[in-house]
Structure 1
Amino acid sequence: MKYVSGFLSIIIALFISSTAAGDVLVYGQVGGTVTLPRSKWGSERVLVLWYLGTDTQPLISRNAHGRETIDPQWKDRLSLSKTDFSLIINNIRLEDFKSFKCELKDFRPQPTSVVTTFRLSRVRVQPVSPLLAGKNLNLKCDIEEIVEGTQRRWLSPQKQDPKNDTRVQIKNDGSLTVMSVTGQDHGEWTCVVTYQGRKANANTHVSVIDLSPAHPQPIYTSVSSLSLLHLPCFLSNPPPLSWSDSQEKSIQGGRWTFTPSPAAGSNTRVVQTLVNLSLGPPLAWVVNQKRGLDVSALQRKNLNLSLTKKGVTEGDRGEYTCAVEFQKDDTLKRSIRVEVLQVFSSPAPVAFVGQEVNLTCTLGQPLTSDLKVKWIPPRQSSLLALGSSPHPAHLTIPEARDINGGRWRCELWRNKTKLTSVEITLKIERVPMDVWLLVTICAAAVIFILLLILTVILIRRHRQRVMMPRRGKRRICRCKDPKPKGFYRN
């Protein structure tokens, strides 16, 4: 029986050694890493030999006692895995896409061996030049040797399958098209090739030149000499460009424009140029000084067009547009809408005790349904005492009192987020005595003038009545020196 089992083991070993495991296809990318899996035959205490093609000198080997030997030319790029002694090739070169052979030798109980041949096939994705946002991205995953059962799929820079993106078109030949790319498409795109359960990745870097992300909501600020309005605009993911060499590269200019809101008192909405880049020579920024803009960011970073403005007024409401011009009439634009919160008192910030005061908090237009205001009265005052809810845009104080004086703050909220706030100082004063005296004197003077006018009117009417002749009586004229009738000679 012992001889029979030994004979069977020799027959099995001879059969294994005489039939290679067949060529195994493995995909890889230039510059990438690939693992060539060794056969599961034999125990860990076997001699592992890896060869390049038909070479007789092994690239790397490991004996049954764990000692490894490596070709000096491959020292920095080859290694064996710690678990099953598979071959790991790092930083794959173009000349590495050949055949590799793995030979396993076991000397117990009889010398036997098994050989597996691997074909390393190249997968690549053609690189693309930097794209401007809004252009189309075209990628193709090329496989040097494609066989039945090979599958390809794409991963976006966010490591997600882009097939659900309506902008993406994927064809059976491995090509991919992304319509109207944005800054989100910037990064590493990956073609994943799967064959017989093994995966190989082919990566390519896509550079998308875009402006800083647009604000999904308007920028809310308030009327104040201390308010700071920051308008961000800069190139995201830029290639090595600068304004100074824009003639040699692709940047041709940049500018900021402002379209005032009708609520700011402009019905025509005339577009105003705030900042304009003069390519020169020399290179210079032309700034609209009337707007009080700070362009220090433009001077520190040539690819940063961000602006700041200190001292916000209601005239700053509107739409600000940042534009960067490139060759071939390509332009990147970003628009930012600015809403300015203001509060004012009617009839004036100074009121007298007992006078009605109206406070109005407004953006210059009716608030949308997702916005609300919140009034914060002075400490000594209370909104409940006014009989008003805390969220009206128009707040009425029916009869002003001393406790209503102080700093009133109006806050603008969206859900649970405070957007901005603005304050107004309300003064409540008592009417001084000299004012009452002046009012009394003026009233007495008016009454005296009215009585005087009435007296004059009555006197004139009385005189007219006395001088009027009586009806039915003849008037007799009495001469001063009457003469007798007769003839007289001159």
Structure 2
Amino acid sequence: MMLCWILISLFVGFLKAQEVIYAQVGGTVTLPREKKDSENVYVNWYRGNNLTLSRNPQSGIQGKDTKTHANLLQDFSLQISPVQESDFEIWRCEQHILTSTFEKTYKLYHVTIPQVPALIAGESLSLECQIESTPVKHKVTWIPPKNSDCNQINLKDKKIEVNDVSRCHSGVWTCKLEYDSKQTEATTTVSVIDLSSSQDTVYTSSSEVKIPCSLSSNIPWPILNETGLIGGSWSFTPLNDPKSTHSLLSLSVGSVVRWIEIQDTISPVKAKERELKDHDLSINLPVSENTRGVYTCNLTFRRKQKKTLSRKVQVEVLKVSSSRGSPVYEGQSVNLTCTLGHQLTSEFKMKWNCSSFSNCSNFKLNSFNLFIPEVKLEHRGKYTCELWKKEKMEVYADLFLKTEKAPVDIWLYVAISSGVVVFLLLLVVIIMCIRRYRQMMMYRRRKTKFCCCKNPQQNQKGFYKT
């Protein structure tokens, strides 16, 4: 019994003689040299009983192992990077100054964070900082990713739980271990699969528009396939018919991932097929008035229950049109209309910019229309309609107004047409006058007739007007 206590005491004393150093496989750790004379000191670093690196004041630093991943810092401390599994043993620093010898022993211990598989937004995250047992006391603090400020959680335990993860939890999580006035950090990368869009509404007036949708982090497609990705889709709901939804594209998964067109579907818009090689899921569409609407990007995963990630993007098309078409002839009136196809809220406003003039104040303006009552040749030029949301211009659209002098044949056509109209009016007036005259003559020629009546009941004779 006494022997057991002696062995235990010797073992505890041996542990106390070693300085505890925690490290993570793949990380970096520094074994500090106790500061002695830096000019005349001889420094030898041993891994177990094997000399790894030495420093001689005359010949400099020498390495016994040319393949070593350890190196001496400027103060002759030993840095190991990256830490390998074989490094978790006893390291010894031996210093010689003249006839004096100083030794310091270190022992590397594991701090480990088990790797977490990729998660889908909405699932739960569990992280554990596993610390190899030693006599020293320690304190653990978790440091979330720099972008992780969405959920407040307890970060003071070895094991933490995060419910309902989102893309803000994606990134590098750090377990900060503090012990004996030292600290060590172990890290792990958490990947949260979610869809993101650079903007919820896209304003355009160009001939083609890119509708954004992407994975929130750049996760390789093989990992997505391993996570249970089974498909995806793009669909379209027109603004003028919100009850009607059209399928545009479906996602073909496998060694090659691509958007493919859905056959036998009738849709007012057509999207282009394309192969996907990164986290970008966006599509390109030709722009027309039919492009206005809400586009939905979906990814579907097979988990315990089928799970679908969705993002919606609304596309607004700004269009400028002329009531006269092109060209507009001198002397005509024209109305320029700028619209998104629906009524705007109070946070939006339209601004007109006339390149041919210092401003558009000479014309009749309102939010959507610019009215020119009499077009002149100098009105020719570019007219720009700008859509502003608060203090930011979202999009603008241009229209080039082409003005010309009215050709002679047009004036001739106008004169002949006017003459024909006048002739027809005169003819109608003459016919009406003739008919009126005839009616009056017939009335004058009509004679008064009399008849002789006999009344048997009365003995009266005479003539009576009938």
Measured against the shorter chain, the TM-score band is 0.7 to 0.9
Following TM superposition, by how much is the alpha carbon of 1:360 offset from its aligned partner in structure 2, in angstroms?
1.6
* d(CA) in 2 for partners of 1:221, 1:332: 26
Compute the TM-score of the two structures, normalised by the length of structure 1: 0.74
Cα distance change of structure 1 residues 218 and 61 upon mapping to structure 2, 3 Å threshold: same
Q: Partner residue of 1:205?
A: 189
Secondary structure in structure 2 of the residue aligned to 1:432: helix
**Structure 1 residue aligned with 2:82, among 55, 66, 91?**
91
* RMSD value, Cα: 3.7
Give the letter aligned to residue 28 of structure 2. T
Cα distance change of structure 1 residues 217 and 426 upon mapping to structure 2, 3 Å threshold: farther
* d(CA) in 2 for partners of 1:360, 1:475: 83
Cα distance change of structure 1 residues 41 and 370 upon mapping to structure 2, 3 Å threshold: same
Give the letter aligned to residue 395 of structure 2. L
Q: Partner residue of 2:322?
A: 345
Secondary structure in structure 2 of the residue aligned to 1:449: helix
Alignment of 1:47-66 (within 5 A): 47-52=42-47, 55=49, 58-63=51-56, 65=58
> Does residue 104 of structure 1 match 2:92?
no
* d(CA) in 1 for partners of 2:123, 2:444: 102
Secondary structure in structure 1 of the residue aligned to 2:318: strand
> Does residue 37 of structure 1 match 2:29?
no
Cα distance change of structure 1 residues 242 and 188 upon mapping to structure 2, 3 Å threshold: closer
> Does residue 80 of structure 1 match 2:88?
no
Following TM superposition, by how much is the alpha carbon of 1:337 offset from its aligned partner in structure 2, in angstroms?
1.1
Cα distance change of structure 1 residues 469 and 305 upon mapping to structure 2, 3 Å threshold: farther
Secondary structure in structure 2 of the residue aligned to 1:92: coil
Following TM superposition, by how much is the alpha carbon of 1:129 offset from its aligned partner in structure 2, in angstroms?
0.7
Following TM superposition, by how much is the alpha carbon of 1:316 offset from its aligned partner in structure 2, in angstroms?
1.0
Secondary structure in structure 1 of the residue aligned to 2:431: helix
Following TM superposition, by how much is the alpha carbon of 1:336 offset from its aligned partner in structure 2, in angstroms?
1.4
Q: Partner residue of 1:8?
A: none
* d(CA) in 2 for partners of 1:45, 1:97: 31
Q: Partner residue of 1:408?
A: 383
Alignment of 1:97-246 (within 5 A): 97-107=88-98, 111-145=99-133, 150-158=138-146, 162=148, 165-211=149-195, 213-222=196-205, 227-235=207-215, 236-241=217-222
> Does residue 324 of structure 1 match 2:299?
yes
> Does residue 308 of structure 1 match 2:284?
yes
Following TM superposition, by how much is the alpha carbon of 1:180 offset from its aligned partner in structure 2, in angstroms?
4.2
* d(CA) in 2 for partners of 1:206, 1:20: 36
* d(CA) in 2 for partners of 1:379, 1:343: 17
Give the letter aligned to residue 96 of structure 2. K
* d(CA) in 1 for partners of 2:329, 2:280: 52
> Does residue 467 of structure 1 match 2:446?
yes
**Contact 2:141 / 2:155 at 8 angstroms: preserved in 1?**
no
Q: Partner residue of 1:256?
A: 234
**Contact 2:330 / 2:403 at 8 angstroms: preserved in 1?**
no
* d(CA) in 2 for partners of 1:302, 1:39: 50
Mark the runs of 5 or more structure 1 residues left unpaired by the alignment: 1-18, 477-490
* d(CA) in 1 for partners of 2:60, 2:418: 114
**Contact 1:100 / 1:118 at 8 angstroms: preserved in 2?**
yes
* d(CA) in 1 for partners of 2:81, 2:203: 53
Give the letter aligned to residue 212 of structure 2. P
Mark the runs of 5 or more structure 2 residues left unpaired by the alignment: 1-13, 454-466
Q: Partner residue of 1:14?
A: none
> Does residue 273 of structure 1 match 2:210?
no
Cα distance change of structure 1 residues 201 and 382 upon mapping to structure 2, 3 Å threshold: closer
* d(CA) in 2 for partners of 1:399, 1:317: 34
Aligned residue pair count: 429
Following TM superposition, by how much is the alpha carbon of 1:302 offset from its aligned partner in structure 2, in angstroms?
8.8
Following TM superposition, by how much is the alpha carbon of 1:348 offset from its aligned partner in structure 2, in angstroms?
5.8
* d(CA) in 1 for partners of 2:15, 2:439: 144
**Structure 1 residue aligned with 2:337, among 356, 360, 363?**
360
* d(CA) in 1 for partners of 2:180, 2:230: 52
* d(CA) in 2 for partners of 1:302, 1:88: 37
Cα distance change of structure 1 residues 58 and 274 upon mapping to structure 2, 3 Å threshold: closer
**Contact 1:234 / 1:304 at 8 angstroms: preserved in 2?**
yes
* d(CA) in 2 for partners of 1:126, 1:82: 34
Q: Partner residue of 2:462?
A: none
* d(CA) in 1 for partners of 2:191, 2:90: 35
Give the letter aligned to residue 31 of structure 2. L
